[in-house]
């Protein structure tokens, strides 16, 4: 990228970050004429269209950006975010996979891909979540998602480790407490489960399953009211 291109694009990014999208769009239209082979211009235009709910415009600009710069991992990742939001999840997976293939330490793409696969193809999710935690052991969301997937797989050792870490880092603390309480319950650690579910129930609007687990724990401890 030429210095003058970088300067112009930095100005456009500054406008977008300050939510001056109209001014950013005007500048990007000028840059599209000035730098027609610069893939970052349609990429930023796609991001503005995505934020504005212009799905057709966003799709066209993302495709143009990737035609100009097919090796840009961040464009693949952002396009995948758009595709996922548009319920085109199979295509989203393909672009997340392309992003991590291009940049093997792309943390956000690993997290995005793992989270999506947890719902669509759970058996394939874990390696991507493990890679995210390997890249950033103290990333709250990565720890939470790996812990949640391990919990679903009944790999409680990993689940406890990662959910405890996520909890300590302040990510979804009430749900982490609930999941840890349920693990303790399943492992017959009823006193520990009781303490943890009480923490989960400090949520302003606790989920129904929190109270259901509390009742089951009370029954095991002989604390029925």
User: Tens digits of per-residue pLDDT, 88-131?
Assistant: 999 999 999 999 999 999 999 999 999 999 999 999 999 999 99
Q: Give me the pLDDT at residue 20, please.
A: 82
User: Maximum Cα–Cα distance for the chain, whole Å?
Assistant: 76
pTM, rounded to two decimals: 0.90
Distance from C-alpha of 35 to C-alpha of 163, rounded to nearest angstrom: 47
pLDDT at residue 1 tops 60: no
Q: Is 87 exposed, middle or buried (0-12, 13-18, 19+ CB in 10 A)?
A: exposed
Distance from C-alpha of 125 to C-alpha of 146, rounded to nearest angstrom: 9
pLDDT at residue 224 tops 80: no
Given a contact cutoff of 8 angstroms between Cβ atoms, the answer to whether 145 and 114 are in contact is yes
* More confidently predicted of 170 and 33: 170
pLDDT at residue 225 tops 90: no
Residues in the chain: 225
Query: Domains along the chain?
Result: 1-70 (1.25.40.10), 172-225 (no CATH)
Given a contact cutoff of 8 angstroms between Cβ atoms, the answer to whether 181 and 201 are in contact is no
Please give the mean pLDDT across all residues of the chain: 94
Among 12-21, 61-70, 147-156, 195-204, the range scoring the smallest mean pLDDT is 12-21
pLDDT at residue 188 tops 60: yes
Among 7-16, 36-45, 109-118, the range scoring the smallest mean pLDDT is 7-16
Phi, psi of 120, deg, nearest 5: -95, -50
At how many degrees (to 10) do helices 3-17 and 21-34 cross?
A: 160
Given a contact cutoff of 8 angstroms between Cβ atoms, the answer to whether 137 and 107 are in contact is no
Residue range 179-190: mean pLDDT, rounded: 98
pLDDT at residue 28 tops 60: yes
Q: Give me the pLDDT at residue 14, please.
A: 85
**2 pLDDT tier (thresholds 50, 70, 90):** low
Q: How many CB atoms lie within 10 A of CB 102?
A: 17
Residue range 72-99: mean pLDDT, rounded: 97
Given a contact cutoff of 8 angstroms between Cβ atoms, the answer to whether 191 and 204 are in contact is no
């Amino acid at each position: 990228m030429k210095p003058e291109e970088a300067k112009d694009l930095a100005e456009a990014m500054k406008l977008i970050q300050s939510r001056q999208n109209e001014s950013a769009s005007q500048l990007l239209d000028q840059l599209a004429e000035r730098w027609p082979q610069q893939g970052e211009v349609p990429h930023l235009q796609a991001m503005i269209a995505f934020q504005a709910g212009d799905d057709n415009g966003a799709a066209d600009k993302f495709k143009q950006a990737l035609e100009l710069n097919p090796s840009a991992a961040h464009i693949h990742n952002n396009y995948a975010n758009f595709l996922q939001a548009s319920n085109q999840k199979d295509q989203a997976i393909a672009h997340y996979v392309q992003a991590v293939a291009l940049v093997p330490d792309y943390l956000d793409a690993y997290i995005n891909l793992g989270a999506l696969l947890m719902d669509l193809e759970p058996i394939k999710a874990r390696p991507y979540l493990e890679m995210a935690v390997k890249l950033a052991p103290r990333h709250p969301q990565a720890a939470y998602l790996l812990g949640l997937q391990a919990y679903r797989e009944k790999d409680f050792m990993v689940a406890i480790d990662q959910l405890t870490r996520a909890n300590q880092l302040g990510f979804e603390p009430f749900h982490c407490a609930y999941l840890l309480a349920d693990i303790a319950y399943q492992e017959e650690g009823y006193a520990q489960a009781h303490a943890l579910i009480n923490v989960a129930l400090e949520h302003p609007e606790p989920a129904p399953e929190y109270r259901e687990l509390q009742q089951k724990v009370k029954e095991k401890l002989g604390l029925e009211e």
